C-alpha cells in the first residue's frame, strides 16, 4: 500500500474514534450500523471504552473494566460479521452486574470478601451471550451481595445517578442501570431478588425487565435468595429488553429450576388492572401523578382499566424480609475463607472482617428465623403468607392481562438520605417484592413526566412475557 493511502486510512480511523457518538444507541440501531458497515465492532467498543474513561470517574458505575477482553471479543465479532455469522447481539458492547461469573475475570459481588476472587467459569447467561459474539465491557457496582436498594452498600464505592449526581441510582443493580443511562454500554445485565433490576431502572430512567422465575438460568450468578433470584436485562427500550431476554432464556441443565415454554398469546383488547392497595399514604404525590397519567394514556390507547384488589399487599415486605434473609443466610454460609473468599486466620475472623454490616444483619436475621423455636413463628408463617400473596395475583389475573402501578413509592433519593434508616430503605421495595415472591414477570418503563425519572411498573402472568412486553412496548405509541 502506498504510504499516502496508509496515512489517509489512519487519519480516517482516528477521526471516527474521536467523533463516533454512542449516545442513545440501542441494540437495534447498533446492530444496523454494524450490519451496514457504518462502523466495526472494534470501533464501537473503543467508543464505549472512551465514554467509560470520560464519564465513569464521576458516575462510578464500573468495579472492573475488562478492556482487553472487550477488544479481543470485538475483533472476533468483526470476523463473525465478515463471515456472515452475525446474530442481533454480535459485536454489541454490554456490561454485567458484578455478581455474574465471567471466566478469568474478577467477580466481587460488591464485597470485600470476594475482592480478589477470579471466576473459574462462565455463568450460563454469560456463556450464551459470548457465543453470540457479544462484547463484555466490564462488571458493574452493586450493593454487597445484591442486598440493598441504593448501591450505597457496596463495599467499594457509591455509584451516582447520571440524571442527578447527588442522588442514588437505586439498587442493587445500580451500576448496571447507571451505565445504561449514561451511555457507557448499550445494555447491561442485572439480577432481581426483590426489585433490583426494576427499581434502579426506574430511578435512572431506563427499562428494567425481570422475567418469570425459572426462565433464565441462575447458574454462575452469585446466589442471594435462590427461590427469588432472577436474571434479566436493563436496556434503553422494551424491544432491546425482549432481544436480550430471547438470547438468555432457556432450560439449563445446571439450573434445575429453569423451564421451557411457548407463549403464543394474541393481544386483542388489553385489560389493565390497577390495585387499590398500591395508592396509599406512603406514595409520593409526584409519583402518583405520573402513574395516574400513565393509566390515562393507556385508556386513551383503548385499554380497559379495571380496579382490582391485592389484599395481602401489606404483608409483602414483612414476608420478603423474612424469606430473603433466611435463604441468604444459607447461601452465604459458603463464604468462609476456605471454600471461597479472603482468608486471614479463621472462619469467624474472616466473616467478621470481610462482610459489611447489611450482610451481617441479614445473616443474623435469617439464622434467627430459621432456628428451632422461631422457625414456625417466622419462616413457616412467611411461606404461608407467600402463598396468599401469590393467590391474590392468580385471582386478579382471571380478570386482567397485566397489573399497573408504580415501581417505587418514592423519587430517586439523595445519597445518604436513607442510609441511617433501614426501614425507610426497605419500604422502597414495597411494590417490587411481591412479584418475586410470586415468581411473576414484571418490567419498569420510564413514565413521561418531566423532572426526576419515575418508573411505571407492569406485572404480567407467569410465562406470558410476550404479552407483558407487547403492552409495555405499546406505551406512548
Look up cell 436493563; give the residue.
234
- Window 11-40: residues binding ligand GLN (CB under 6 A): none
Residue 168: CB minimum distance to ligand GLN, A: 12
Task: Using CB under 6 A, pick the residue from 52, 324, 404, 442 that binds ligand GLN.
Answer: 324
CB of 72 to ligand GLN, least distance (A): 31
Is-contact 267 229, C-beta < 8 A? no
Cell triple for 352: 467478621
Smallest gap from Cβ 328 to ligand GLN, in A, equals 8
Closest CA to 174 of 392, 157, 186: 157
Residue with cell 462482610: 355
Least distance between ligand GLN and beta carbon 408 (Å)? 10
Segment 199 to 228, residues that bind ligand GLN, using CB under 6 A: 224
357 is catalytic: no
The residue within the footprint of ligand GLN, chosen from 33, 138, 169, 194 (CB under 6 A), is 194
Rounded to a whole number of angstroms, the minimum distance from the CB of residue 48 to ligand GLN is: 26
Q: Say whether 447 is catalytic.
A: no
Q: Give the containing element (helix H, strand E) for 456.
A: strand 455-459
Residue among 51, 60, 97, 466 flagged as catalytic: 97
Q: Which of residues 354-413 bind ligand GLN (CB under 6 A)?
A: none
Rounded Cα distance, 477 and 473, in Å:
8
Does residue 429 belong to the site contacting ligand GLN (CB under 6 A)? yes
> Cα angle vertex 331, ends 330, 333, to 5°?
70
Q: 3-class DSSP state for residue 37?
A: coil
User: Which residue minimizes CB distance to ligand GLN?
Assistant: 196
110: nearest Cα among 99, 120, 102, 119: 99
Task: Pick between residue 226 and residue 343 the one whose CB is nearest to ligand GLN.
Answer: 226
Q: Total number of residues binding ligand GLN (CB under 6 A)?
A: 13
Task: Give the residue with the Cβ less far from ligand GLN, 149 or 331.
Answer: 149
Contact call for residues 210 and 233 (beta carbons, < 8 A): no
Residues 6+ apart with CB under 8 A from 357: none
Q: Which window, 143-151, 260-268, 300-308, 465-473, contacts ligand GLN (CB under 6 A)?
A: 143-151
Closest CA to 442 of 396, 416, 404: 404
Q: Which of 148, 169, 356, 412 binds ligand GLN (CB under 6 A)?
A: 148
Q: Which is nearer to ligand GLN, 27 or 316 (CB)?
A: 316
Helix, strand, coil % in the chain, rounded to nearest 5:
45, 15, 40
Q: Which is nearer to ligand GLN, 135 or 326 (CB)?
A: 326
CB-nearer residue toward ligand GLN: 101 or 146? 146
Query: Which of 41, 154, 172, 408 is flagged as catalytic?
Result: 172
- Is 192 among the residues that bind ligand GLN (CB under 6 A)? yes
CA gyration radius for the chain? 22
Q: Is 6 a catalytic residue?
A: no
List the catalytic residue out of 111, 154, 182, 196. 196
Closer to ligand GLN at the Cβ: 46 or 176? 176
Among the residue ranges 16-24, 191-199, 394-402, 412-420, the one whose residues contact ligand GLN (CB under 6 A): 191-199
Q: What are phi and psi of 190, to 5 degrees?
A: -135, 180
Kindly indicate which of the ranges 107-115, 147-155, 200-208, 453-461 contains the residues binding ligand GLN, using the contact rule CB under 6 A: 147-155
Distance CA 393, CA 416 (A): 35
| Nearer to ligand GLN (CB atom), residue 128 or residue 362 | 362
Task: Please name the residues in contact with 67: beta carbons below 8 A apart, sequence gap of 6 or more.
Answer: 49, 138
> Which residue lies nearer to ligand GLN by CB, 97 or 249?
97
- Residue 248 touching ligand GLN (CB under 6 A): no
- 329 forms part of the interface with ligand GLN (CB under 6 A): no
Contact 308, 473 (CB under 8 A): no
**C-alpha torsion angle, residues 269, 273, 279, 283 (rounded to 10):** -70
Answer yes or no whether residue 196 interacts with ligand GLN by CB under 6 A: yes
List the interface residues with ligand GLN, window 164-183 (CB under 6 A).
172
Burial of 423 (0-12, 13-18, 19+ CB in 10 A): exposed
Residue 195, interface with ligand GLN (CB under 6 A)? Answer: yes
CA nearest 361: which of 414, 397, 325, 314?
Answer: 325
Neighbours of 276 (CB within 10 A): 12
Contacts of 389 (CB under 8 A, 6+ apart): 310, 312, 313, 315, 316, 319, 434, 437, 438
Q: Which residues are catalytic?
A: 97, 172, 196
Q: Which residues contact ligand GLN by CB under 6 A? A: 146-149, 172, 192-196, 224, 324, 429
Amino acid at each position: 500500500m502506498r504510504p499516502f493511502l496508509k496515512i489517509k486510512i489512519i487519519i480516517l480511523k482516528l477521526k471516527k474514534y474521536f467523533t463516533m457518538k454512542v449516545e442513545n444507541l440501542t441494540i437495534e440501531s447498533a446492530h444496523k450500523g454494524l450490519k451496514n458497515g457504518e462502523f466495526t465492532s472494534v470501533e464501537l467498543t473503543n467508543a464505549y471504552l472512551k465514554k467509560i474513561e470520560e464519564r465513569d470517574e464521576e458516575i462510578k458505575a464500573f468495579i472492573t473494566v475488562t478492556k482487553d477482553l472487550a477488544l479481543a471479543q470485538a475483533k472476533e465479532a468483526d470476523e463473525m460479521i465478515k463471515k456472515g455469522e452475525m446474530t442481533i447481539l454480535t459485536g454489541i458492547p454490554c456490561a454485567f452486574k458484578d455478581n455474574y461469573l465471567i471466566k478469568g475475570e474478577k467477580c466481587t459481588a460488591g464485597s470485600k470478601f470476594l475482592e480478589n476472587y477470579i471466576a473459574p467459569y462462565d455463568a450460563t447467561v454469560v456463556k450464551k451471550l459470548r457465543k453470540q459474539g457479544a462484547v463484555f465491557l466490564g462488571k458493574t457496582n452493586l450493593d454487597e451481595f445484591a442486598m440493598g436498594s441504593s448501591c450505597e452498600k457496596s463495599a467499594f464505592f457509591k455509584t451516582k445517578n447520571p440524571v442527578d449526581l447527588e442522588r442514588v441510582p437505586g439498587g442493587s443493580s445500580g451500576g448496571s442501570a447507571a451505565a445504561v443511562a449514561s451511555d457507557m454500554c448499550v445494555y447491561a445485565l442485572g439480577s432481581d431478588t426483590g426489585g433490583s433490576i426494576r427499581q434502579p431502572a426506574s430511578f435512572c430512567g431506563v427499562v428494567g425487565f425481570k422475567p418469570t422465575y425459572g426462565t433464565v438460568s441462575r447458574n454462575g450468578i452469585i446466589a442471594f435468595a435462590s427461590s427469588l433470584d432472577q436474571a434479566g436485562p436493563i436496556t434503553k427500550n422494551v424491544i432491546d429488553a425482549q432481544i436480550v431476554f430471547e438470547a438468555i432464556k432457556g432450560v439449563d441443565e445446571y439450573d434445575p429450576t429453569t423451564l421451557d415454554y411457548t407463549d403464543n398469546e394474541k393481544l386483542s383488547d388489553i385489560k389493565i388492572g390497577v390495585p387499590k392497595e398500591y395508592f396509599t399514604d406512603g406514595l409520593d404525590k409526584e409519583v402518583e401523578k405520573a402513574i395516574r397519567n400513565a393509566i390515562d394514556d393507556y385508556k386513551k390507547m383503548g385499554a380497559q382499566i379495571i380496579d382490582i384488589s391485592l389484599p395481602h399487599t401489606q404483608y409483602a415486605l414483612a414476608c420478603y424480609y423474612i424469606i430473603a434473609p433466611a435463604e441468604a443466610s444459607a447461601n452465604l454460609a459458603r463464604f468462609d475463607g476456605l471454600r471461597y473468599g479472603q482468608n486471614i486466620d479463621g472462619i469467624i475472623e474472616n466473616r467478621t472482617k470481610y462482610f459489611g454490616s447489611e450482610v451481617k444483619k441479614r445473616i443474623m436475621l435469617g439464622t434467627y428465623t430459621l432456628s428451632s423455636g422461631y422457625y414456625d413463628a417466622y419462616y413457616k408463617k412467611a411461606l404461608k403468607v407467600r402463598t396468599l400473596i401469590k393467590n391474590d395475583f392468580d385471582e386478579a389475573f382471571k380478570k386482567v392481562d397485566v397489573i399497573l402501578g408504580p415501581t417505587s413509592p418514592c423519587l430517586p433519593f439523595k445519597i445518604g438520605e436513607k442510609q441511617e434508616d433501614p426501614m425507610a430503605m426497605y419500604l422502597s421495595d414495597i411494590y417490587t417484592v411481591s412479584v418475586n415472591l410470586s415468581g411473576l414477570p414484571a418490567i419498569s418503563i420510564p413514565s413521561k413526566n418531566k423532572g426526576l425519572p419515575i418508573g411505571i411498573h407492569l406485572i404480567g402472568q407467569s410465562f406470558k412475557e410476550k404479552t407483558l412486553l407487547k403492552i409495555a412496548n405499546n406505551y406512548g405509541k
